[in-house]
Amino acid sequence: MKTVSKDGVTSVVAQNEVIIPDLTVKDLLSAVPPHCFQRSAIRSSLYLIWDLFLIAVIYKITTFIEPLLTPEHIFLPSPIFYTIARFSLWSLYGFITGLVFTGLWVIGHECGHQAFSDSKFINNLAGWIIHSCLGVPYHSWRITHAKHHASTGHMTLDQVFVPSTRSDLGLPPLNPNGEDLFGSSVSNKVMNELYEALGDSPIGALFTPASYLLFGWPMYLFRNALGQAYPSGTNHFNPNAVMFSPHQFGQIILSDVGVLLWLSVLAACIHQSGFFQVFRLYLVPYLWTNHWLVLITFLQHTDPLVPHYRSEEFTFTRGALATLDRNLLGDLGSFMGWVGATATHGISETHVAHHVSSKIPHYNAWAASSALKKRLAAAGIQLEGRPSGWAEVYRVFRECKFVEDDGNIIFYKNAQGLAASRPLVAGDTASDSGIEFEK
């Protein structure tokens, strides 16, 4: 974001004018080829088997190479280098396996959307098994995730990555004499006040996102971190939590049972094989998976280009299009971009299409995404973000600090009160979505 300062006022040189869509659900779905909506239990299962096969191959290759990292097989100048080599080998194993674990997680996620097959029983059985094996309370997350899809970008109904408002952060009220509601200009005095109040330092911008990536997923499950402002103690394991309805009680208990079985198996494996063996074989990839989940979803829904809505201007289509497609690991080059997209079944690259129709299976999402992009381009809408990676998390975190308490279509402002984007609304304002959120 380029800025210019003059006469004690800093202004954005040219804010992005983001088109606020007035498309209907029919406009979007009619752009998707009919075959994209077809679900196949056999084809989905083959992808599941393929992911398990990849994990087995990665393990076999790693355990084949490890015995060769000895003085008898390879010369290294110092004994410490053999330790470093083995550490590097298992670190690579954890990184790659973590990506494939994320692919498994995506398949379980599709089960929650009923995209795995035409059978609800098969979907929920497969989803419960897959997600339980990854420490996820399947039904609990499925229920809140469905609410997220119904109300993406809605300031009071969305379930995750809900922006903090000016008042949430205890910032001084908007000063019309010193700053613009849309964040196009801010007096240097107000800018300094905001910057000091938010404490936006490069070190803070580095460590805070790092804590999100490491602990964000379990904290969301256990404490509803980064979620909607629910009562203290709200979590995904309590069947009486405000996110759930009384008739969903049994599903939450079943989800808890799955996680308890997962913990029991982990404890048994640690007792049998030792913590170190379980840590390097399973827990390191598991931690990488949690990291990728937060990184992917954070960048899909958080960016200076992504609008958020209050009820007066929210519709389902606006919410579905309040997200970005990004190429996972694309910042490391085209090959790594291919690895990231392939290992995680395109969950980051086809996310807009996924929000338009969450029942499209991942193997059809590429064609659906391509067709949908053409329809959106005809309306002047581009929803392609920068490639996903740590550098992008750092940039977005620094650019997206808060939103205003006023306004029905709002964009993030940075720590100086400046916004990179502003809404461009064509025609009449949109009415409320009319979507039934309580089911």
State the Cα–Cα distance between residues 62 and 353, nearest whole angstrom. Answer: 37
Query: CA–CA distance from 419 to each of 11, 184, 350, 400, 415 (Å)?
Result: 10, 6, 27, 9, 10
Condensed to tens digits (0 to 9), the pLDDT of residues 394-415 reads 999 999 999 999 999 999 999 9
pLDDT of residue 1: 84
Question: Is 131 within 8 Å of 141 (Cβ atoms)?
Answer: yes
When pLDDT is cut at 50, 70 and 90, the band that residue 332 belongs to is very high
Instruction: Tell me which residue has tokens 């003059």.
Output: 6
Q: Which of 359, 372, 298, 285 is nearest to 328 (CA)?
A: 298
Instruction: Tell me which residue has tokens 């053999």.
Output: 82
pLDDT of residue 427: 54
Range scoring the smallest mean pLDDT among 10-14, 308-312, 392-396, 418-422: 10-14
Instruction: Tell me which residue has tokens 């989940």.
Output: 293
pLDDT of residue 337: 97
State the Cα–Cα distance between residues 439 and 437, nearest whole angstrom. Answer: 6
Q: Per-residue pLDDT for 341 more than 90?
A: yes
State the Cα–Cα distance between residues 365 and 371, nearest whole angstrom. Answer: 10
The DSSP bridge partners found for residue 10 are: 5, 186
Q: Per-residue pLDDT for 431 more than 70?
A: no
Condensed to tens digits (0 to 9), the pLDDT of residues 203-260 reads 877 888 899 999 999 999 999 988 898 998 999 999 999 999 999 999 999 999 999 9
Q: Please give the full DSSP string across 245-260, using - where no structure is assigned.
A: -GGGHHHHHHHHHHHH
Other Cβ atoms closer than 10 A to 374? 9
Handedness of CA 383, 387, 392, 395 (dihedral sign): negative
pLDDT of residue 433: 34
The one-letter amino acid at 384: E
247: tokens are 């008739």
Coil, strand or helix at 328: strand
Coil, strand or helix at 195: helix
The DSSP bridge partners found for residue 12 are: 3
State the Cα–Cα distance between residues 48 and 100, nearest whole angstrom. Answer: 10
Integer-rounded Cα Rg, in Å, for the chain is: 23
Condensed to tens digits (0 to 9), the pLDDT of residues 55-114 reads 999 999 999 999 999 999 999 999 999 999 999 999 999 999 999 999 999 999 999 999
Q: Per-residue pLDDT for 434 more than 70?
A: no
Q: How many residues does the chain have?
A: 439
- Per-residue exposure over 200-212, b if at least 16 CB sit within 10 Å of its own CB, e if not: beeeebeeebeeb
Q: Per-residue pLDDT for 342 more than 90?
A: yes
The one-letter amino acid at 174: L
For 429, which DSSP code? P
For 271, half-sphere exposure in the C-beta direction (CA atoms, 13 angstrom radius) is: 6
* Residues 6 or more apart whose Cβ sits within 8 Å of residue 367: 33, 35, 36
Q: Per-residue pLDDT for 7 more than 80?
A: yes
